[in-house]
Amino acid sequence: MRKIESEYQPGRRKLLKMIALGSTAGFFGLTGSINANAQDKQRDSYTNRMAPVKIKNVKAIATAPEGINLIVVKVETTEPGLYGLGCATFTQRAVSVVATINSYLNEFCVGKDVDNIEDMWNSFYVSSYWRNGPVLNNVISGLDEALWDIKGKRAGMPVYQLLGGKSRFAVDCYAHANGTSPEAVAEDVKKYMSQGFRHIRVQQGGYGLTGVAQKPDFATAGFGYEGDQYMNDYAYLKSVPVMFETVRKVCGDDVELLHDIHERVQPMDAINMIKKLEQFRPFFIEDPFSPENMEWFKQLRMSTSVPIAMGELFNNINEFKLPMVNQWFDYIRVHVSQIGGISPAVKIARLGEYFNIKTAFHGPGDVSPVGHAAHAHIDMAIWNFGIQEAVHFSDKLQSIFSGCPTMKNGYMHLNESPGIGVDVNEKEAAKYPIGSKSRWQVRKNDGTIIRP
Ligand code: GCO
Ligand code: MG
């Protein structure tokens, strides 16, 4: 009868096996303890290197070198020489943003840990109970971007690396061509094409031809206020197809053309005009309607296949959800500081990925160089990047802000420094105090105020 092996009978082979198993376990134990030691060392060095750093002071730096109010938040920390900068530029209500930064935000932040960006964002966001307005969101944006700047400096890497690294070698941008006639606009387009831009926005007489409008009847009648602009929407609606036709004739088809309706005409007029532009293959038409008229997108989508960009006036991150789920537009025009900074902008961009909607972040002159750089860090990392609005950084602006992104061949390049990469000279900034005038009233011929 064959002997049954009992569960646990140590025989020689078994003994050898046990010894082998034991020494293997010993070996792994040893290596395990070596790994554990290595991990402990890593954790210790991380915690040593990333020992908690607290916020010492938060202040607003306000400057207007080009007559446009720019606001930056500076977060100073308990670690000598370590501070962060973030864009909080709401140029039309700059004084209110500065006051809120130097009071509520500073009071909220002092003594808190610099590391927990998401929690700092959400806790300040709800700390006012009422939330999501342009002033408070710009204040949060300044804090948010400054904390990302600090985290990048502590990690010793540019912010785009913290967001997942490069998805492209540089940020493709569009330039702004303008002129008082279709021919002058075409000349301006040629100028930017010669600088290497592949995407160019075309505007005749600024937004809505206001730059070339005649004297309106409301002014003759003595109605309205000083500085009111006049928009003749009939003249504007006829001028845009003529402008596109002229630019295509003069500059050809190898340039992408963009145009900003700037929400200034009646929705059905916008739809009819956009249909007339189909033959000129626009890259995108921006802000066909105001945020107050979102339902009209259904009609627009049924009427034309011209790509649409929308969103610079959205303050509430949730304003993007429904239009994106319904694919009412193709490009997300986030004004990053108006919705609260890098953290919410990345969330919206990532959401866009699931609806094949690309980004075209708002990048006008009323964004600080810190803000423009923050845009570019997100643009470098996200997959669904579309195009970035670019501006020229003047020498005066660069005398205040060092490390500004550079433009080459229509691409924006970051400087690879840790953090956001832009610094500010407070003494220089103080030479150009901000103002409190803002003129965004635009009227029709009879004096009716329109959405500007
Ligand atoms: C754009 C915008 C800006 C805004 C300006 C408001 O597409 O660049 O429409 O020009 O009008 O930022 O202050
Ligand atoms: Mg716009």
Ion ligand 2 — residues with CB under 5 Å? 260, 312
The rounded distance, in Å, linking the Cα atoms of 365 and 68 is 7
pLDDT score at 4: 42
Quote the ligand 2 centre to 92 CA distance (angstroms). 15
408 by Cβ neighbours in 10 Å (0-12 / 13-18 / 19+) ranks as exposed
pLDDT score at 28: 57
The count of other CB atoms within 10 Å of the CB of residue 452 is 18
Name 75's bridge partners. 58, 84
Q: Whose C-alpha lies nearest to ligand 1, atom 3?
A: 364
Q: Give the Å distances, CA to CA, from 269 to 5, 236, 266.
A: 91, 11, 5
Catalytic residue among 192, 207, 331, 411: 207
Structural contact between residues 409 and 196, judged by C-beta atoms closer than 8 angstroms: yes
Quote the ligand 2 centre to 307 CA distance (angstroms). 15
pLDDT score at 35: 65
What backbone torsions phi and psi does residue 284 show, to the nearest 5 degrees?
-160, 155
The DSSP call for residue 328 is -
The rounded distance, in Å, linking the Cα atoms of 100 and 88 is 11
402 by Cβ neighbours in 10 Å (0-12 / 13-18 / 19+) ranks as middle
Nearest ligand, measured from the Cα of 365: 1
Query: pLDDT (tens digit, 9 = 90+) per residue, 133-170?
Result: 999 999 999 999 999 999 999 999 999 999 999 999 99
Tokens at 369, concatenated: 């160089």
pLDDT band per the 50, 70, 90 thresholds, residue 210: confident
Three-class SS state of 142: helix
Quote the ligand 1 centre to 323 CA distance (angstroms). 21
What DSSP line would sit under 361-400, residue for residue? ----TTS-HHHHHHHHHHHHH-SSB--EE-----HHHHHH
Query: pLDDT (tens digit, 9 = 90+) per residue, 53-97?
Result: 999 999 999 999 999 999 999 999 999 999 999 999 999 999 999
- Give the containing element (helix H, strand E) for 338: helix 336-339
Mean pLDDT of 396-417: 98
Name 54's bridge partners. 113
Q: Which atom of ligand 1 is nearest to the CA of 367?
A: 12
Structural contact between residues 343 and 117, judged by C-beta atoms closer than 8 angstroms: yes
Only one residue has tokens 């134990």, namely 29
AA identity, residue 377: H
Query: pLDDT (tens digit, 9 = 90+) per residue, 341-366?
Result: 999 999 999 999 999 999 999 999 99
Q: Whose C-alpha lies nearest to ligand 1, atom 6?
A: 366
Alpha helices in 195-290 (DSSP H): 217-220, 233-251, 267-277
Query: pLDDT (tens digit, 9 = 90+) per residue, 282-314?
Result: 999 999 999 999 999 999 999 999 999 999 999
Quote the ligand 2 centre to 195 CA distance (angstroms). 23
- Identify the CA nearest to 311 among candidates 335, 288, 292, 293: 335
Quote the ligand 1 centre to 25 CA distance (angstroms). 67
Only one residue has tokens 């708002």, namely 362
Instruction: Please give all residues whose beta carbon lies within 6 A of any atom in ligand 1, as ranges.
Output: 91, 260, 262, 312, 362, 364, 366, 389
The rounded distance, in Å, linking the Cα atoms of 413 and 219 is 46
Residue with the larger pLDDT of the pair 123 and 45: 123
pLDDT score at 332: 96
Question: Which of 93, 283, 362 maximizes ligand 1 atoms within 8 Å of its Cβ, making it the mutation to test the pocket?
Answer: 362
pLDDT score at 17: 65
Only one residue has tokens 């070996």, namely 27
Quote the ligand 1 centre to 207 CA distance (angstroms). 9
Q: Whose C-alpha lies nearest to ligand 1, atom 4?
A: 364
Structural contact between residues 231 and 209, judged by C-beta atoms closer than 8 angstroms: yes
Quote the ligand 2 centre to 23 CA distance (angstroms). 70
pLDDT score at 427: 97
Question: Which of 201, 332, 366 maximizes ligand 1 atoms within 8 Å of its Cβ, making it the mutation to test the pocket?
Answer: 366
The DSSP call for residue 81 is T
Query: pLDDT (tens digit, 9 = 90+) per residue, 15-33?
Result: 666 667 666 666 556 666 6
Tokens at 298, concatenated: 């259904």
Q: Which atom of ligand 1 is nearest to the CA of 335?
A: 12
Q: Which atom of ligand 1 is nearest to the CA of 176?
A: 8
Structural contact between residues 102 and 95, judged by C-beta atoms closer than 8 angstroms: no
444 by Cβ neighbours in 10 Å (0-12 / 13-18 / 19+) ranks as middle
Residue with the larger pLDDT of the pair 274 and 35: 274
Q: Whose C-alpha lies nearest to ligand 1, atom 9?
A: 262
Provide the b/e sequence for 114-138 (b: ≥16 CB within 10 Å).
Answer: beebeebbeebbeebeeebbbbbbb
Q: Which atom of ligand 1 is nearest to the CA of 364?
A: 8
Q: Whose C-alpha lies nearest to ligand 1, atom 1?
A: 364
Question: Which of 260, 313, 391, 392 maximizes ligand 1 atoms within 8 Å of its Cβ, making it the mutation to test the pocket?
Answer: 260
Is residue 262 annotated as part of the catalytic site, yes or no?
yes
Q: Which atom of ligand 1 is nearest to the CA of 389?
A: 8
Q: Whose C-alpha lies nearest to ligand 1, atom 10?
A: 364
